[in-house]
Amino acid sequence: MKRFGSTLAGIVLMTLVCTALTPAVGFGQANKIIVDGSTTVGPIAKAFAEYYMSKNPGVNITVSESGSGNGAKSLINGTCDIADMSRFMKDEEFKAAVEKGIFPVATVVAVDGIAVIVHPSCPIQNLTVDNIRDVYTGKITNWKELGGPNVAIVLISRDTNSGTYESFENLVLNKQKISDRAEYVGSNGAIRERVQSTPAAIGYVGLGFVDKTVKALKVNGIMPDNSTVTSGTYPIARPLFMFTNGYPKMGSRLYTFLNLYLTPKGQEIIQAIGFVPVTKY
């Protein structure tokens, strides 16, 4: 996982460069913060909002989870202060933003492993990245081909507007097309619900969405958890972002909310949800 570490370092460096070159702007009201985007980053934003509002009763923070792509659109259109994204912003999104006078700045708030999950009754314990790719591209269609029961595999995927989908596409599929047999759902939670109720299903979710109702598989012999994501040994990992229009003015409500991830309480929240704090990566 040296490549992932290098990629994250490059993204952080790009963020610092963008921050240095971008004016301190913000279009939210002083006591109102609107957050939209990724269903993966959403739980972090919601927990941050709950904590922040408890300490600052006059501040109103709303968090919506419409997907990373829609979060980018909201930032571009000026309808949110923070776009949660589980992928980096695309070139065409940057271009559209700049054309509207929006200057996106990325903050890496946490690191995530994408867990491949099955029903708890599934006897499979480990798959390789190649196995997972073959399952999702339709080369493998029955659990017996992987050492399981003679049952057709039920493929569950995130919708194509999702940052989790795009990360999975890049890290696992090598941008190959997902099988026409796949069922697409709109959130990490929806994948978990579908898998927990379907013994033959397979899905993929952010690490913070793994609980006792589903079973996370080892990938290349590595179990997805905070320690393996932190060490870089788990092969399906990615940074999680909050994008703003420029870097918030120091001392503003938006600035202090965004930078919660650097505080001991923010890191505690991130870890409690199941993600990896950046400073511990």
The pLDDT tens digits of the residues spanning 178-231 come to: 999 999 999 999 999 999 999 999 999 999 999 999 999 999 999 999 899 988
Q: Do 104 and 117 share a domain, yes or no?
A: no
Q: Do 136 and 208 share a domain, yes or no?
A: yes
Enclosing domain of residue 194: 112-231
Q: Do 127 and 216 share a domain, yes or no?
A: yes
Q: Name the helix (H) or strand (E) containing 5.
A: helix 2-21
Q: Do 220 and 269 share a domain, yes or no?
A: no
What's the pTM value of the predicted model, to 2 decimals? 0.81
Q: Do 102 and 129 share a domain, yes or no?
A: no
Q: Do 72 and 140 share a domain, yes or no?
A: no
The number of distinct structural domains making up the chain is: 2
CATH of the domain at 117: 3.40.190.10
Place of tokens 């980053």: 41
Distance CA 115, CA 88 (A): 19
Question: What are the CA-CA distances from residue 96 to residues 89, 92, 201 (Å)?
Answer: 11, 6, 38
Residues forming a β-bridge with 115 = 205
Helix axis angle, 264-273 to 42-55, nearest 10°: 140
DSSP 8-state class, residue 228? H
Q: Do 175 and 154 share a domain, yes or no?
A: yes
Q: Which residues contact 7 (CB under 8 A, 6 or more apart)?
A: none
The pLDDT tens digits of the residues spanning 102-140 come to: 999 999 999 999 999 999 999 999 999 999 999 999 999
Q: Do 87 and 129 share a domain, yes or no?
A: no
DSSP string, 73-101: HHHHHTS-SEEEESSPPPHHHHHHHHHTT
Q: Do 130 and 212 share a domain, yes or no?
A: yes
Distance CA 249, CA 105 (A): 13
